[in-house]
Structures are given as C-alpha cells and as structure tokens.
C-alpha cells in the first residue's frame, strides 16, 4: 500500500493524474479526492481555453480565488477587446465612407474646375475657342513663329447668307449649322492649328508654320468640306457655303507680337473676307504680304480660288 501511495504521490508531483489507488483507507480517500479535484480542474481549464468564462473553482482554497479572479479578468479583457474591435471596425468603416465621400467631392470639384476652365476658354455652343482664348493662342503662336523664323497666318470665315438661313429654318437649325461647321473645320485642321468663334457666324483660324499658299490650301479644304456636307435638319438636308479671308505674318516684321498686332492681321484678313463676299461668296481670298502699317484695303484682293477675281472695295460692308 505504501508503495502504491508513494508512486501516486510521485506521479502527482510530476503531473501524472492517470494513476489509480487500489487501496482503501483515509489517506487513500484523501488522495483520490485530491486527484478527482485536479482532474476536474484540468477540465475547467480546458473549458476556459475554449472561451467558457463561467467556470469557477471552489474546492482549492486560495488557488480557487486566484483561478476565479483570473477567469473574470480574462473575460473582462476579451470583452474589452471585442468592444474595441467593434469600435475600430465601425470607425474604420466610417473613415472609409468619409474617404469615399471626400474622394467623390474632390473628383466632382476637379471636374467642375475643368469644366469652368473649358467654359472660360471655349464657346459654349460650338466648342470652338472664344475670342479671348484665341487671341492668347495667336499671340503666343506669332511669337514662336518669329523666334523660329517661320511664317504664320490668320483667316476669318463667315457662313454665307446665314441670316436668311436662320430666318427660314429657325435659330435652333442655325445652331445646328454652326456646330456642324465647327466640327468639319476642326477635322480639316492640322494639330498645330487653332479655331475660335469670332462672333455670330464668323470664325477665326490661326495657322502656325504656314505660308499664305499653305494656309490657303487648308482654307479651301475646310470650305469644300463644309460645302459638301449639307446640314441635316431631320426632314431635309440644307447645303451651306462659307467665305474666307486670309492674311499672313512675315517673321521679319519687327513688331511686338501682342494683341494690337493680332488685331492688325485680323483686319487684313477681314478685308480679304469682304473681297470674297463681294466676289460671289463660297471662296477664299488672301491679303498681300504687305506690312500692316503700309497695307490698305485695296491690297486685300489677292487671287480667289477656283472662281473669278473679286473686285476691290475700300471699306467692309459685309453682306450676310
């Protein structure tokens, strides 16, 4: 018996709870009871490890108090962790939503700014550059052309009999015509060229790195494309023609390339446009390469293209 008790105690000391006492008696009974308590405690620890924090020990004195306090603290700690996790998850979701909202606001603001910049530089109806924007482009283009020793040109285009077109088909149809003309003209331009709306049915072009002859070919390409594409008004297709006046800029001219100089070149092109109108419309007329300060309207009757030579006139009285 004593040997069995000794083996049992040695096993307990080493953590072995599988030994059974085969003898009866007071000592054996106490040891069996202690062994049962330890086995139950082992089971309770396993339950706590699985998340059951309701386990309590009441059969091991001070150890019971310490064990129970540990379980309570573990329960509180895990509860706090879960609550913290839920709070952080909610905060993360809230922040994610806030980021999405702010990102959408930034995108909307950028799009609004882009749209405002576009509207500040372009004609709302046709999408062509507005006059202010065109002048800036023309000034910069003329300065660059001068620095590089290159010719450049400005042309003005007017839709023939556009007032009659509006009166007959209505202003909405007139808007359709203006938009189609800009689309066709834009497709005929080179990448380096610019197109602006000068006012009403008049449009203005800047041709960089182009002589009068080269710019004249571009103008005629535009003119013929427009004339060959009738305006689709739904029930009918109505042809429309244009007249164009063209003026060139010699890189050797000493003038500062500013707005005043641009206006002078435009005035030369404008008189050439008048010559095209007087000569029968649907044509391109070019101004001579005379310096603006020495130029006169009488010199604005260079050769028209594919049509008889127009007559000269000292002042512009444009017929629409």
List the catalytic residues: 201
Q: Are 139 and 262 in contact (CB under 8 A)?
A: yes
| CA dist list (Å): 91 to 81, 94, 106, 229 | 15, 5, 22, 61
CA 240 to chain centre: 36
C-alpha–C-alpha distance, residues 256 and 251, integer Å? 11
> 194-199 and 231-232 as β-strands: parallel, antiparallel, unpaired?
unpaired
User: Rounded to 5 degrees, what are φ and ψ at 51?
Assistant: 105, 5
C-alpha–C-alpha distance, residues 180 and 176, integer Å? 6
C-alpha–C-alpha distance, residues 154 and 167, integer Å? 30
Residue of 193, 189, 208, 308 whose CA lies nearest to 248:
208
Q: What's the sign of the alpha-carbon dihedral 120, 126, 128, 133?
A: negative
Strand ranges (E), the chain: 152-159, 194-199, 202-207, 231-232, 237-238, 242-249, 284-286
User: Rounded to 5 degrees, what are φ and ψ at 194?
Assistant: -130, 150
Q: Could you tell me if residue 229 is left (phi over 0), alpha (psi between -120 and 50 degrees) or otherwise beta?
A: beta
């Amino acid at each position: 018996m004593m040997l069995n008790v000794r083996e049992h105690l040695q096993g307990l000391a080493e953590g072995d709870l599988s030994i059974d006492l085969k003898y009866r008696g007071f000592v054996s009974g106490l040891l069996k009871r202690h062994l049962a308590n330890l086995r139950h405690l082992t089971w309770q620890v396993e339950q706590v490890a699985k998340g059951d924090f309701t386990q309590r020990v009441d059969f091991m004195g001070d150890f019971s108090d310490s064990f129970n306090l540990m379980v309570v603290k573990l329960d509180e700690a895990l509860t706090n962790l879960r609550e913290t996790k839920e709070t952080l998850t909610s905060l993360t979701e809230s922040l994610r939503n806030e980021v999405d909202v702010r990102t959408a606001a930034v995108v909307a603001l950028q799009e609004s700014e882009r749209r405002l910049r576009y509207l500040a530089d372009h004609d709302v109806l046709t999408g062509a550059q507005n006059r202010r924007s065109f002048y800036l482009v023309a000034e910069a283009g003329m300065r660059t052309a001068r620095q590089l020793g290159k010719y450049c040109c400005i042309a003005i285009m007017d839709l023939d009999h556009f007032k009659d077109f509006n009166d007959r088909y209505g202003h909405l149809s007139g808007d359709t015509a203006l938009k189609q003309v800009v689309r066709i003209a834009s497709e005929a331009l080179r990448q380096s060229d610019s197109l602006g709306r000068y006012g009403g049915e008049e449009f203005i072009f800047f041709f960089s790195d182009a002589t009068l002859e080269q710019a004249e070919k571009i103008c005629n390409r535009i003119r013929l494309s427009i004339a060959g594409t009738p305006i689709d008004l739904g029930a009918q297709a109505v042809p429309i023609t244009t007249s164009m006046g063209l003026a060139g800029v010699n890189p050797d001219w000493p003038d500062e390339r500013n707005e005043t100089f641009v206006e002078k070149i435009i005035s030369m092109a404008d008189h050439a446009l008048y010559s095209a109108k007087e000569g029968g419309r649907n044509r391109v007329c070019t101004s001579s390469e005379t310096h603006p300060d020495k130029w006169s309207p009488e010199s604005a009757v260079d050769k028209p293209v594919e049509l008889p030579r127009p007559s000269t006139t000292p002042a512009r009285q444009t017929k629409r």
